Amino acid sequence: MAIAALFCLLALVLILGVYRPPPDTAVRGGGDNTWWNPPDWRSLRSVLIAAGAWGCINLGLIIMFSFGASVLATRGMSMQDAASITSIALWISIFSVPIGGYLLQRSARPRVLANLSYLAAGLALLTLYLGNWPILGCVGFGLALGPGPGDLTAMPSRVLRPEHRITGLAIFATLTSAIMGLGPTVAGILADAAHSPTPALLLGVAVIVACAR
């Protein structure tokens, strides 16, 4: 945790010390370089939807790696083996996300492809709850996740004009971080109340499927 925080601190130092805005920023941004320049409601609504969905996708991932192994462990699997199986999804997603983004960009119906991604990822995560084929579920989750992230992270740049992007992307990141910060607490409360990690896993299924629109 400390090392991860140090990387964030390093990024902040580099931005403050090294970054310089391009010379034509004022011209491209309409002459308004203030940090608070909110977009119109229609664009802001799209940004909020994308941020909420992106936060839910990440929350689903966090829940899978936080509680998925525990679910398998309660069914007799060693925690080491359970953690190894759930990590398969992350390794596969390293490759499936950029490939899925490429396919999404080339698709004639990108929204349909993205929605299928969310539904398939939720179904794959549900197999961990059912406990039948955990390895297949983790492989399926990593593959199904591919097109989804590109659909959500590209939305703000599509709907925000240049002069609104600083504020719009700040709102996007803030809402996403809030969901990722508060969501695991809710999942933990559900798990503690039921004395079982399965309700938390079902919450992960629900938030991923909810991204379909």
> Tens digit of pLDDT for each residue in 77-101?
888 888 888 899 989 999 999 999 9
23 belongs to a structural domain: no
Q: Does residue 46 carry a pLDDT above 80?
A: yes
Residue with tokens 């390794």: 91
CATH number reported for the structural domain that contains residue 185 in this entry: 1.20.1250.20
Confidence of residue 127 (pLDDT cuts 50, 70, 90): confident
Distance spanning both ends of the chain, measured CA to CA: 35
Contact 48, 169 (CB under 8 A): no
- Domain containing 167 equals 47-71+78-209
Q: Residue 175, Cα to own-chain centre: how many angstroms?
A: 12
d(CA 113, CA 118): 9
Mean pLDDT of 38-44: 88
d(CA 165, CA 39): 8
Helix, strand, coil percentages, rounded to 5, for the chain: 80, 0, 20
d(CA 107, CA 131): 34
Position 131 scores a pLDDT of 72
Instruction: Give the chain's domain count.
Output: 1
153 belongs to a structural domain: yes
Would the pTM of this model clear 0.85, i.e. be above it? no
Position 75 scores a pLDDT of 82
Q: Does residue 132 carry a pLDDT above 90?
A: no
Position 25 scores a pLDDT of 58
98 belongs to a structural domain: yes
32 belongs to a structural domain: no
